[in-house]
Structure 1
Amino acid sequence: MSAYRITRRAGLALGLSILSAFALGSPARSQTFPDRVVTMVVPFAAGGSTDVVARVIAAKMSEILGQQVIIQNVGGGGGSLGAANVARADPDGYTILMGTVATHALNPLILKTKPYDAEKDFAPISLLVIVPNVLVVNPELPVNSVKELVDLLKAEPEKYSYASSGNGTPLHLSGELFKKMAGVSMQHIPYKGSGPPALNDVIGNQVPIMFDNLPSSSSHMKGGTLKALGVTTKERAPSFPPDVPTIAETIPPGYETYTWNAL
């Protein structure tokens, strides 16, 4: 399912999945749900990939369910703050989470203090999208390929830094895996989510390099304010210009990362 286009059939299936989830717990309530606004918590900043996906899904859900689904951005903690808010909410179906690989796969493994139980505090509804990540740089950085970036980082170790959506997030781990497999050094600058303000700082050349989700940075790449060097998936992204290679085509085989979103 594309992050940019959700068909009516897919949206209907999603709506039925939500209704079915509540029918299992309370048949009487499922006949009237939803009878008020539903809040979808996005655990990252507005404008990022997860936010983009959430707004498309929320619009389709509003249409199918007949009630408004609103977005609430609660960034911070690599997605843990927003996820914890939903975990503490009343379990009535009116507060739902746009989950990610960070909130439900990475955070339970890397957080010393766990503000929620990823398995017990949530009920899965649907996997929505699998999102490629992309390595982008400010156009002023004198590189045009992954190989040229690796050569630059080896020639001037520790001079350059890269941005990600936060400590312990998939994009942070994409950068750390890249450093390890390419044998390079660069400082990590964590932000509260992909999109602004991280993208703004890369576009402004405060931080010259970033690992980002493809949807949040694609318009900047098309506009020329960011330069794409490679995608992090095993194969080239079909929705991406075919001349943009995978990172794995340059560094040792086996490099692959991606992000998913689920309700």
Structure 2
Amino acid sequence: MSTVRVPAGVPGVPQPAPGTAREVLRHTLVLTRRNLRRSVASPGQIIDATLMPVALAVIFLYVFGGAIAGDSAQYRQYLMPGIMALTITITCRTAGIALHEDFASGVMDRYRSMPVARSAALAARILADTVRMLASQLVMLAFGVLIGFRVHTGVLATVAAVGVVLLYGMALCCLQAFIGLTARGIETVQSVSTLAMVPFQYGSSIFVAPDTMPGWLRLFVENNPMTSVVDTARALLTGGPVGSSAALAVAWSLGLIAVFAPLSVWKYRTHR
């Protein structure tokens, strides 16, 4: 029996998505380029990835640094690796917001009517945000050097620090994608995506060492995945033992990806 091939691009008529790895990769790269072009044309996304972290670094270093550490120069070495990790919690919110907007505008319905791999749209969104996060890490490193932050290790350790932060950023993108595909209404997505990052941001060792906190709070902070990521980046950039913090950072990142990547694909397939 012969089969009738539905022409690609007919709205509302689903087609079987191609499944070969080469096709998935090609579709992912095409959609990634589309997402990056949108990011370049969006002032808000550029501000989130560059100016916002710089503003936070200036505020905490020069306004609160003296009160927190007593010495802004010493606090600068402690703070900047934390700000690098903080940057990804700001940048990753785009994953959920952009996916929700694409569904609301009908772009995703268009994709689903074409022979596009189901995972390509999600992978492209996360890959594009990873490129943005990499750009933000480079900006923060350059800004840190400009204001006096110094890397005391080497090139390989610096690359490893950025790699650990980016891996965790990809994990948070998967979480944000799930939020964007689950929440109803763009306002809800924005609120939930921002609120979900607060425990990661402020319940960690980004700004203050956990040993200065009350016992009940220290227990949460020391088991916060952000703390292991920040401590790993800090050790790789300024020197010190990496050890268990690196293993925890990688384990947390891979664990979050293993949970929320499949959930996001499932929500994408069942989204109405």
Q: Kindly indicate which of the two structures has a greater share of residues assigned to strand.
A: 1
Same fold (TM over 0.5): no
**TM-score, normalisation: structure 2:** 0.22
Q: Kindly indicate which of the two structures has a greater share of residues assigned to helix.
A: 2
Structure with max Cα Rg: 2
**TM-score, normalisation: structure 1:** 0.23
